[in-house]
Amino acid sequence: MSLDKILSIGGRPGLYKLLTQTRTGLVAESLLDNRKVTVGMSSNVSILSEIAIYTLEEELPLRAVFEKIQLREEGGKTSVKHKDDKLSLEEYFFKVLPNYDEDRVYVSDIKKVIQWYNILHDHGITDFSEPEEESGKADEKD
């Protein structure tokens, strides 16, 4: 499963798998407890593939940050927990992404990234590579 189908829903813990879209919103399934939830259009929903982390040079897609964590941890879970103290979290994130913008990336953001990575790892979602575009389909509009 790609990050294009994984959601973060404002005000709700954890991550969700997009099941279907409806006229009034969407239906998603929690990766934490497998419960289905209906989410209205007014809810703050973020698709993980659309999230980026600020660095000093650019915005780095979340998938690239997950790849760096995966490389550092040799495919395992993170060595810190999302509930660890502020200094431990910042130290860890600096090792993973030394050029992250400390003024715009808050500890709460670091906690989410670590928690999300571990949730995805627990569910076997470990392919964070860029999805290959279907060549030819977009070019065939004549």
Q: Where in the chain is the domain with CATH 2.30.30?
A: 3-48
Q: Where in the chain is the domain with CATH 1.10.10.1650?
A: 52-122
Overall average pLDDT of the 20-42 stretch: 94
pTM: 0.87
Query: What topology does CATH give the domain 3-48?
Result: SH3 type barrels. (2.30.30)
Q: Say whether pLDDT at 73 is over 70.
A: yes
Distance of alpha carbon 100 from alpha carbon 62, whole angstroms: 12
**DSSP-derived secondary structure letter, 132:** P
Backbone CA torsion sign across 52, 110, 127, 95:
positive
52-122 has CATH 1.10.10.1650 classification: yes
Distance of alpha carbon 5 from alpha carbon 47, whole angstroms: 7
For 16-28, write each residue's pLDDT tens digit: 999 999 999 999 9
